[in-house]
Chains A and B, each alone.
Chain A
Amino acid sequence: MAYTAQTGPTPDSPKTNLADASAMPLIGPTETFESVTQNIGGIVLTQKPPRSWFFGAGVAFILLMVLLCAISWLLYRGVGIWGINIPVAWGFAIVNFVWWIGIGHAGTFISAILLLVHQQWRTSINRLTEAMTLFAVACAGLFPLLHLGRPLVFYWLFPYPDTMGLWPQFRSPLVWDVFAVSTYFTVSFLFWYAGLIPDLASLRDRAPTRRKKVIYGILALGWRGSAAHWQNHQSAYLLLAGLAAPLVLSVHSVVSFDFAVAIVPGWHSTIFPPYFVAGAIYSGFAMVLNIVIPIRKIYGLENYITARHLNNMAVIMLATGMMVTYGYVMEAFMAWYSGDVFEQSMMANRAFGPYGWIFWALILLNVILPQALWFKRIRTTPATLFFVALAINIGMWVERFVIVITSLQHDFTPSAWRLYRPTFWDWATLAGSIGLFLTLLFLFLRVLPMISIFEMRKLITEKPGGRA
């Protein structure tokens, strides 16, 4: 064992003992090695998917088709099908990109940082959140490509040996983005896959049909569960966690540079990197909750994803939400304090201009509603928590809209000011990207164990009373 777990808390009924969150159990009291493997592996191997899976996957698939239509039309006609213009040359595509990238951050935060700081409660949700990270980054990765005027030459942003000796222009934050996002995707994928290997082997061993055996067998990469395997696996897993952890901070910092490096009032701000990172984790946890709360209900996983998990995530949301709020306050304060006419005018326009109602919607969704999380009852009641998380998810999308659009719409030269109005295709692309995300998620739920089996079993060994 490369790390030693702390002594686990006493399992108890989630309904009791609300006063002390750390006292709430991480795993149901009745779980055994066998039951864990059966319950989690069974969802993939033997159980028929519940009716709601078919319904959800169907909706997701329809939205995915919407995305394909939107992309086809986009490639055929050009980015003019969107509402972008001069001066607002970036619209939904960039808003969506930042939003999706941000959502991914919770996954990495949970699986890497919480692993390194020995937070055991991460175990039951890390697989799902890592998958969420991957899918969110996949969605995010689409947008920088699609928003190019000439998407077929996207590879010019990569440093490849060009016959004319041309390189990307390394001072541009968009090039940094390319590296940040591709690194993020690669590391996230490896980390997720490395974590999957022992479970894939379990599935292989329990697969009821020949075909499943072969497929899971190939994916398991010959895992036999020997001590040497575990030794190597744990080192690799920790190393990857070590690699992934700084990415939580760096990726969204780099994304924020897209704005902070520009001279546009409302973008050009040193507070952006920490403010973006906090926002990313904020929205990421909101998305985790929006996914986990229905899943634990439908698949009956309350024993693995307990009220304590919900509570912990809510607390993190509350904390990052306060950081984000601080960011909003500082943006407004600095606009005034700087004495800079352009900043002041931008801020006044942001709050009281034509998009003012969107700004106040942002304040309601991201600042006021989440204050409900101060109440433990709300934090531990799945329905209310789901609602607050949903508000935060929408709020964080709105935040990016406010940053991207209201800043561009009202910059230095008044004669050029012009409003931005999203078109049908803007909305279709946003809805379609949600479709892609959900489709990948539903496929994941169907074919891979959504909770890490081996890590859950480890929790059982470590809980007081030892092996069941």
Chain B
Amino acid sequence: MIWRSLDELAAVPAFQSARHNEFPPGATEPPVNRRDFLKLMAASMALASLPACTRQPIEKIVPYVKQPEELVPGNPLFYATAMTLGGFASGLMIESHEGHPTKIEGNPGHPSSLGATNVLQQAALLDLYDPDRSQTVLNHGQPSTWESFATAFQAQMQSVQANHGRGVHILTETISSPTLRSQLQTLLGKYPEARWHQYEPVNRDNAFAGARLAFGEAVEMHCHFDRAKVILSLDSDFLYGHPDNLRHALAFADGRRAQSGRADMNRLYVVESSASVTGSNADHRLPLNATGIARFAYELATRLGLMAAGSPSELTPETRKWIYALADDLLQNEGTSLVIAGENQPPDVHVLAHNINDFLGNIGHTVTFTEPVINPASQIESLRDLIAALHAGSVETLLILGGNPTFTAPADFDFPAGLLKAKSCIHLSTEVNETSALCEWHIPQNHFLESWSDGRAFDGTVSIVQPLILPLYAGKSAHEVLDVVTLGRSDYDIVHDFWSQKMAGLDFEKNWRQALHDGYFANTRLPEKRVSLRTFQITPVAQKTGSLEITFSPDPNIHDGRFANNAWLQELPQPVTKLTWDNAALLSPGFAAKEGLANGDIVDLELNGRRLSLPVWITPGQPDDSIALHFGGGRSHVGRVGKNAGFNTYTLRTSDSLYIGRDVRMQKTGGHYPLVTTQTQHAIDSEERQIFREGTFADFKADPEFAKKSSETPIETLFKPEEFKTDGYRWGMAIDLTACIGCNACILACQSENNIPVVGKDQVSKGRIMHWIRVDTYFRGTPENPDMNHQPVPCMQCENAPCELVCPVGATVHDKEGLNLQVYNRCVGTRYCSNNCPYKVRRFNFFQYADYHDTTLKPLWNPNVTVRSRGVMEKCTYCIQRISMARIGSEEQGHKIQDGQLKTACQQVCPARAIVFGDIGDPKSAVSKLKANNLNFSMLGELNTRPRTTYLAKLRNPNPQLTT
């Protein structure tokens, strides 16, 4: 039988019949003699021992029947959209592979992003694919349908039409979406007795209240750090926790970063009640309890001459010296200084900040004002009204659009009990949470990557939220829920109709398309508003000596608790403390020593008769008489990830002590809880290690080469000295430690880009976290108030890599462009490379960490990056997949990869642009210029590893008055 292909063979009748009749009756085995038998055995033994030679079965997949427009399989597409948090939209650019979003980037044109994202925006992608998301409409906890909800809701609203909607209450989170606000207005117009409440635990109540006191109207303050020479933060985490943090970070870094010919550098003073990202970047940081900060601001205003001294000063001599130096510095920089008060601080402090800014002539220069983007009405009062109505039993229908008030409302409001008194309650949420459990209806909310919407950036720019993917589940958006009682349109129609009416004109469609392409409507920024100060009268709160206070602030990773089921965020080391998977009561080293507390010891906190037990974490830089609590952890109705992660501190947070709780009593319980951190050592035991180099701006001006002084001497070598000086690309990276603010965005960007698995609390506690880039924080100085230094550490891509020498199978090798490659297929997992890596940047799959089985999570993976299996080593590759993509693109066009055309994930996300990557063989590239800077140094360069990743020494700009 001669055949050319298997198909042909299969068609031959003899084969057909043989196939149907494999074992004909009476068949016997062909006779085999001893020799043949042995031959066969030998052959099968040989074959069995060579499974690696087996050809994998060919699996054909069906190509597109109808090829989607613009889609080339294998090439990602990018779409602009926006994510709103706390009401403020930040523009994003989403990478989509064959219809599923795989990576979130910042939108470079968007004023609130400028191309960067923070950790929450990076991690939002994981929420889209969260297998624990709410997937179906629930009625009293039983699965139901959207249609039955719509019918019921319409009937309900019809029944209240007669009394103009009395008893209908709508509770939303902070809303800036013009479409949603117009929908609400339409609804409230139709039902004039209905009430709209707005509440979110992280809000700007204090800022607006302060503005009302200072200017007579609620205005939004915009900071221009790029124009400021002297900056004072009064407990404001403007680099991390502020709604406009990304723009702040860039402007702040631009005023400091190492540049040739820089004549001056901005100076940051931070007075704060808990070690924050902003505080860790301060040139002068003063830990004061939150109550004392009001006192501080008052004393500063007095010193500046804003007002006459009132009550006698209670400040310590050190604080007084600090204030005098600060006041002198501010006075020398009139018009180029900036004072910002934190959202946690009471309105009085905001008033003082506005007055100081005005006194120094900063308003209009470093500080400008606009109308607020969001409704400035007090959210806590709005919620108080709702609670009153609920407890009075006058709520017929409560429509909760997003949020989780059962969990986040102040403890004294007793929101759950009130909620149960509502006749009917509808809850729209992306997850079945504490609130959903108490509601009649639960509607799954679409993720923002699945729905149409809009929002306004902090500066007012209108941003369009467009979906990247059809809803994965039976979800709906807030627009669609509100539209049920009016027109019943889809969210696209709602948003599109709104803007077509609003921007009615001949080329609306063109504008709309442009806005979709850009991600925002151009020139929709709010105009600057002139404000005038009113006279003010402030008497600072007298502080009882020896009294202990608690401060409340949102969790740096899981925000107000909404990201509790996001494993990327839970596992992300929190800034400064490096805690993962839990929150704790942060106390100062001195206080802990006095109370005999160690990390993880459980204490009982009592505030206004409410008690909470949680473990403590000793945090350098924390004021002695203040305990910092983060809220957001300890969710009870949450998916698998958020279970048993953290402690619910909302149970202590009441409406009269939302941010500061005074007269706290603390008791040691004797219990212990294992808290997990990724960095156990924060001190460099010897100055000579030279791992982190820093100096003052004055040092730098006096001796521009100070960072080199202690540096490695160039080591002459006879062994392949020209090995990596090829003509092709020579990839390298420079990280400016002055610019780095320690915000962790690079860690999550890398995790998302490179399919890095999450390992869980137990594995983190064993030291097996998988992050390819980490942000080390080193403390210098006294534990009471140390300098904090952040150092992002990716793979150094050593030219002379110690890891390569010791791998027995050659699984880690160099390529000609200078990349230190890791060949997963070849790795047998001896882990010798990690032992020999002086930077300890290699990560090992001790177990099967990557989830091969959950189909929901599969579309999350970057298809250009291998998903690693158990027993192999992995590490930073300088995003080699991006390099390949850029190379292919540029080779098609016949030129070299242009500088700036190719960015690593960590570089692209960095809000401070501290990470620069490129071709060090090209003297004109940005990275070459940075490496030529005098501040450039190699970490552990004396080991002759010749790292391709180098650092620019950190510069500080202390006030000479305070250093002497």
What B residues does A171 contact at CB under 8 A?
805-806
Q: How far is the CA of A345 from the CA of B843 in the complex (A)?
A: 25
The interface-forming segment of B187-195, B241-249, B869-877 is B869-877
Minimal beta-carbon separation of B949 from chain A (angstroms): 13
Interfacial residues of chain A within 245-264, with CB under 8 A of chain B in the complex: 258, 261-264
- Selected from A79, A258, A262, A342, the residue in CB contact (under 8 A) with B846 is A79
Contact B802 A262 (CB under 8 A): yes
Contact A172 B808 (CB under 8 A): yes
The interface-forming segment of A104-112, A330-338, A410-418 is A410-418
**B378 sits at the interface (CB 8 A):** no
Closest to B945 in A: A263
The interface-forming segment of A17-25, A162-170, A425-433 is A162-170
Interfacial residues of chain A within 92-150, with CB under 8 A of chain B in the complex: 147-150
Minimal beta-carbon separation of B288 from chain A (angstroms): 29
Closest to B50 in A: A163
Contact A149 B802 (CB under 8 A): no
Contact A83 B806 (CB under 8 A): no
Q: State which size class the interface on B falls in.
A: 35 or more
Q: How far is the CA of A345 from the CA of B683 in the complex (A)?
A: 13
Report A145-184 CB contacts with B as 1/0, cut-off 8 Å: 0011111011011000001001111011111001000000
Contact A89 B835 (CB under 8 A): yes
What A residues does B806 contact at CB under 8 A?
171-174, 261-262
Q: How far is the CA of A436 from the CA of B471 in the complex (A)?
A: 59
Closest to A419 in B: B680
Task: Determine which residue in B680, B808, B842, B943 has the highest number of CB atoms from chain A within 10 A of its CB, and name it.
Answer: B808
Q: How far is the CA of A85 from the CA of B834 in the complex (A)?
A: 10
**A211 sits at the interface (CB 8 A):** no
**A77 sits at the interface (CB 8 A):** yes
Closest to A411 in B: B838
* Known contacts A341-B686, A341-B689: A413-B871 contact under CB 8 Å: no
**A84 sits at the interface (CB 8 A):** yes
**A42 sits at the interface (CB 8 A):** no
- Selected from B53, B828, B940, the residue in CB contact (under 8 A) with A412 is B940
Interfacial residues of chain A within 352-388, with CB under 8 A of chain B in the complex: none
Minimal beta-carbon separation of B663 from chain A (angstroms): 39
Interfacial residues of chain B within 819-876, with CB under 8 A of chain A in the complex: 826-832, 834-836, 838-840, 842-848, 870-873
Q: How far is the CA of A419 from the CA of B767 in the complex (A)?
A: 9
- Selected from A89, A163, A345, the residue in CB contact (under 8 A) with B686 is A345
Q: How far is the CA of A85 from the CA of B871 in the complex (A)?
A: 13
**A78 sits at the interface (CB 8 A):** yes
- Selected from B680, B688, B871, the residue in CB contact (under 8 A) with A149 is B871
- Selected from B763, B793, B829, the residue in CB contact (under 8 A) with A150 is B829
What B residues does A156 contact at CB under 8 A?
809, 826, 828
* Known contacts A264-B836, A341-B686, A415-B778: A169-B810 contact under CB 8 Å: yes
Contact B767 A149 (CB under 8 A): no
Q: How far is the CA of A414 from the CA of B830 in the complex (A)?
A: 23
Minimal beta-carbon separation of B507 from chain A (angstroms): 56
What B residues does A157 contact at CB under 8 A?
808-809, 828
* Known contacts A89-B835, A149-B872, A262-B835: A78-B847 contact under CB 8 Å: yes
* Known contacts A78-B870, A86-B843, A149-B844: A263-B808 contact under CB 8 Å: no
What B residues does A417 contact at CB under 8 A?
680-681
Contact B763 A412 (CB under 8 A): no
Q: How far is the CA of A178 from the CA of B838 in the complex (A)?
A: 25
Minimal beta-carbon separation of A326 from chain B (angstroms): 26
* Known contacts A80-B846, A414-B689: A148-B829 contact under CB 8 Å: yes
- Selected from A169, A345, A411, the residue in CB contact (under 8 A) with B809 is A169
What B residues does A274 contact at CB under 8 A?
none
Q: How far is the CA of A172 from the CA of B810 in the complex (A)?
A: 9
What B residues does A178 contact at CB under 8 A?
808
**B776 sits at the interface (CB 8 A):** yes
- Known A89-B831, A89-B844; 16 more pairs at CB < 8 Å: A78-B848, A85-B846, A87-B835, A87-B840, A89-B832, A90-B835, A174-B830, A178-B808, A411-B838, A412-B691, A412-B839, A412-B940, A413-B838, A414-B689, A415-B774, A417-B681
Binding site for B on A (CB under 8 A): 77-80, 83-90, 147-151, 153-154, 156-157, 163, 166-169, 171-175, 178, 258, 261-264, 341-342, 344-345, 408, 411-419
Can you list 11 A-B pairs with a CB-CB distance of less than 8 A? A78-B871, A79-B829, A80-B763, A83-B766, A88-B767, A89-B831, A150-B828, A169-B810, A262-B802, A341-B686, A415-B777
Interchain residue pairs A-B with the least CB separation, the first 9: A149-B829, A149-B871, A85-B767, A80-B846, A416-B840, A89-B831, A415-B776, A174-B808, A169-B810
